[in-house]
Each structure stands twice: as structure tokens, then as C-alpha cells.
Amino acid sequence: MAFYKRSLRNRIFFSMILLILLASVLIAVVTIFQYREEARDYHRERLLRKEANIMENIDYVLQNTTYPIETDQIPLIFKEKIYEIKDIHKLELYLYDLDGNLLKSSKASFFKDTTHSKIPSYVLEALESGSDKHFVEGFNEEGQDYQSAYSVITDLYFKPLAILYLPYIEDDGFINKELKENLSRLGMAYLVMLLIAIVLAYFLSKYITRSLNDVSQKILETRLNKRNKKIVLNENSTEEINMLVKAYNGMIDELEVSAAQLATNEREAAWREMAKQVAHEIKNPLTPMRLTVQSFHRKFDPADPDAHRKVEEYSNTLIQQIDTMSSIAEAFSTYAKMPAQQDETLNVVLITKLALEIFNENYIYYFPEEKELIARFDRTQLIRVVTNLIKNSIQAIEQAEVEEPRIEVRVFSEGNNAVITVKDNGIGVAEENLSKVFEPKFTTKTSGMGLGLAMVKKIVQTYKGKITLESTENEQTTFKVSFPKS
């Protein structure tokens, strides 16, 4: 069943085969049911025809008898005639009085017939209550199906005289033979159809899934850090495949824009952090340099007229350069500041989902525990927090080269805080590095500036939140971001 669920091609193939098999079974069942219904109707109509003919013979005997037409005279009236009627119609017949007691039977025997000596009471009740004084029932005796007919015999003046009982054996040999032959023909026809369906299902499933496999392969090759190729449409592709390919190509265009925007944002963030570092390094020596030059200016001996002029010129020049460096440092510091916050009331569940949509890795799973979680936050910076954590997890997984990578993103409430957790089964963080992860320029990777997690921490702290880390080396890592709800 897992194999069936895994492949669309297998689903199409086996579904068509199963459809043919179910159709053949259903038609066979319907055919058998139809034959049985026709057999039952045939035997019932045949019994009624024989009964009508026998009743005509009985009326003829009654009209031409010399005995008084009375119930107690029935055995004498039909003493020999009952056997003639049996031979003509090839059917046993029994005559009963109106109380259901046997009067005469066509069944020759040296012993008294006790099997049909009495008509059941429910039959008598049915004959009395019925308007046509007629009753038919079916039963099985010793594995043989029977239909029996009960009719009231009347005299010439329509006075009830006796009850006629006709047991009829249902001989289905011919019908069963026809049924077997018909089922054999149907079986051969459906066998041919099954073989045709297998071939057709194979090529049809292969044709349908070939385009899907191409799309799937392209999706697997899609990466955020490279230029992805679009899929060229085949002229013979179906409308559904064309729509899927167009959607994929549209996604590639949007992905390129998102990737470019993300790269630009990361470069800007990196430059901001670097600018702060440069500004810090430049500002530190400026004040001591200025004080040193001023002190030298005060202590220099003014007796030398040329020396005084030279020192003054030197001091002015040095102070001017220092002021220039200070202005440059101030410009870097201004550039390094985070952009003005554009706080808004947003749904953390929705924004987190939007942030995850730029990633194509199929091992990223999103588990929001609530449909709506409202907080005050800058939309762009919240997306930046999520994307940086996801990228960090992807890089950790690529370093670990795990066989079954998995990243779980959860959003839930914890008291008055909104919480986002990102858990991966990547390389993890060594215990000695846990306290350094959020420091600027710290990284264990061969590339990158180590500013991503530091920037995440600064953004979260700006909104009075906190970020924590739990990690087991070579097993898993979980980042937890929490900040106040609205």
C-alpha cells in the first residue's frame, strides 16, 4: 500500500486494472442474478400454465361424471382419471377436501402417503382470504427447489368442492448451462479487455507522469543561491501539465526576485555591521590623538620663532585630519544604524508562513498550533528573523550530510508571548560554542561573516524579546524566539 501511495504512475496503472476487474465481477454478479430471476419467473409461469390446463381437465371430468359432484365423491370420480391427467401433463397432483385432508393422489404407492396427507394451516388461511382462491409458494426439499400451487376446485355452480395441489420441480439444468456459457464468453471478453487495459494503463501512466517527473526534477534542482532554468513547454502537453509548468516558471521568476532582494538585504545588513565595527575602531584612537597633539602644542618652547610657526601649522593640519576622520566615522555609524522601525499589528502565523515560502527544500515542515497569533512587529524584520534561522539550519544539515534531513518550524503561544521555534537535525553546536553563537563575526562555517544570528538577536531584543538555543552536537539544534503578543 505504501508503494501504491508513493507513485502517481502506480496509482494510475493499478486503478485502471482494478476498474476493469471490478467491472467484470460486477457484470458477472448482475448476470447471475438476472439469470436466476429469469429462471424463477420462467418456472412460475410454466407452473401456472400447467395448473390452468389441469384445471380444464378436471372441469371436463366433473362435467362428464356419473357420480354425484360432492366432496366425498372426489376419490371415486378421479379414481382412474387422475392418472390420465398425470400422464398427459407429466405432473403429480393431489386432491384435498376443504379442511385440507388428502382425498386422492396421482402418486402410486403400496403404502399410505403421509408426506402430503394434510395441507398446512397457513395455506388454508391464504386460500380463504384470497380473492382468487389461489396460492403459490416455493420451498427446498432434499436439495431440490420446488414451487407448489394450491387452487380451489368448484362444481358447475361455483361451489367450493376440493383443493388441488401441484408440486413442481424446478429443473434449471438448461438455464445453468446457458449461464455457464455466457459467463465463459464474458470471461474471455474481459480477459482480452484486461490485457488491453494493462498495456494502455502502462503507456498512459508513463505519458502522464513523464511531464510530472520533469517538473519534479526541476523543482528538486531549484536553489535560492543560483539561477534556475525554466521548463520549456511541450506542444503535446496536456492543459493540466501546461498550467503546472506555467506556475513553476512563475515561481522561478518570483524566486529570483526574492533571492535578489534577500541577497541585497543580507549585504546591507553585513555592511551595516561592518560599518559599526569600522566606526568603533576609528573612534577609539581619535580622542587620545587629539589630546596628545594639544598637549604637545602647549608644552613646546615658543622661544624659537620658526618652531612655533611650524608646530602651529602641524597642529592645525593634524587636527583637521582628525576632524575629517571623525566625520567619516560618524557617517559610517549613521549608516550602520538599523532602518526606522515600521511597527504594525500582524499575524505571526501568516508572516512566518510567508517567510518559509522562499525555500524549496522539501524537508522543511511548518506546524502552526494556532490559526492566528497577533503581535506588534516590523514585517520585514520578522521575515528576516525566520529566514536567517532557516538558512542557518539548512547549512547545518548540509554540513552534517544527514540521510533524512528535517527542519520543523512551530508557532505557538506561551503565556503572554508569541513563540517561534526552528528545530533541525543538522551538525549541531559544540558545547564550548553555545555562548558564542550570537556574537558578531562568530561562525563555524567556512564562508559567511557570522553576522546573521547576531542580527537576529538584535532584532528580537529591539522588540523586548529573547532568543535561546538548545543543541546536541551531531544530533539536533533548536532555536526559540519569543516576544510579547499584542
Q: What is the pLDDT of residue 462?
A: 87
Q: Answer yes or no: do 459 and 414 share one domain.
A: yes
CA angle 401, 405, 411 (to 5 degrees): 135
| Domain annotation covers residue 215 | no
Place of cell 532568543: 467
| Domain annotation covers residue 228 | no
135 strand-pairing partners: 150
| Domain annotation covers residue 222 | no
Check which CATH number belongs to the domain holding 294 and give it: 1.10.287
Q: Answer yes or no: do 264 and 349 share one domain.
A: no
How far apart CA 110 and CA 105 sit, in angstroms, is 12
Domains of the chain: total: 3
**Radius of gyration (Cα) for the chain, nearest Å?**
51
Q: Answer yes or no: do 321 and 347 share one domain.
A: no
How far apart CA 18 and CA 6 sit, in angstroms, is 18
**Last residue in a domain, options 336, 369, 384:** 336
| Domain annotation covers residue 50 | yes
Q: What is the pLDDT of residue 448?
A: 40
| Domain annotation covers residue 206 | no
Q: Domain containing 381: what range? A: 343-484
Q: Answer yes or no: do 22 and 111 share one domain.
A: yes
Whether the CB-CB separation of 387 and 258 falls below 8 Å is answered with no
Place of cell 576632524: 323
Check which CATH number belongs to the domain holding 411 and give it: 3.30.565.10
Q: Answer yes or no: do 82 and 18 share one domain.
A: yes
Check which CATH number belongs to the domain holding 69 and give it: 3.30.450.20
Q: Answer yes or no: do 289 and 405 share one domain.
A: no
Q: Answer yes or no: do 352 and 265 share one domain.
A: no
Q: What is the pLDDT of residue 411?
A: 96
Q: Answer yes or no: do 465 and 423 share one domain.
A: yes
How far apart CA 384 and CA 451 sit, in angstroms, is 12
Q: What is the pLDDT of residue 34?
A: 76
**Last residue in a domain, options 175, 197, 212:** 175
Q: Answer yes or no: do 432 and 452 share one domain.
A: yes
| Domain annotation covers residue 204 | no
Q: Answer yes or no: do 35 and 139 share one domain.
A: yes
How far apart CA 19 and CA 267 sit, in angstroms, is 58
| Domain annotation covers residue 211 | no
Q: Which amino acid is at 273?
A: E
Q: Answer yes or no: do 349 and 302 share one domain.
A: no
Q: Answer yes or no: do 25 and 167 share one domain.
A: yes
**Last residue in a domain, options 137, 156, 175:** 175
Q: Which helix (H) or strand (E) holds 282?
A: helix 239-299
Q: What is the pLDDT of residue 447?
A: 41
> How many of the other CB atoms lie within 10 Å of CB of 134?
15
Q: What is the pLDDT of residue 166?
A: 83
Instruction: Give the DSSP letter of residue 311.
Output: H
From the centroid of its chain, how far is CA 391?
30
From the centroid of its chain, how far is CA 171?
53
List per-residue pLDDT tens for the chain, 486 residues long: 454 455 666 777 777 778 778 877 888 788 777 777 777 777 777 777 888 888 888 888 888 888 888 888 888 888 888 888 888 888 888 888 888 888 888 876 544 555 677 888 888 888 888 777 788 877 666 666 667 888 888 887 788 888 888 887 665 555 566 667 777 777 787 788 778 878 877 777 777 666 666 666 767 766 655 666 676 766 666 666 677 777 777 777 777 777 777 767 776 776 676 666 666 556 555 655 666 566 566 666 666 676 676 666 667 656 766 765 665 565 455 445 555 567 889 999 999 999 898 888 899 999 999 989 999 998 888 998 999 899 889 988 988 888 889 999 999 999 999 999 999 998 888 887 777 787 765 555 544 444 568 778 888 988 999 999 888 888 889 999 999 998
| Domain annotation covers residue 260 | yes
How far apart CA 52 and CA 74 sit, in angstroms, is 19
Q: What is the pLDDT of residue 324?
A: 57
CA angle 247, 251, 254 (to 5 degrees): 140
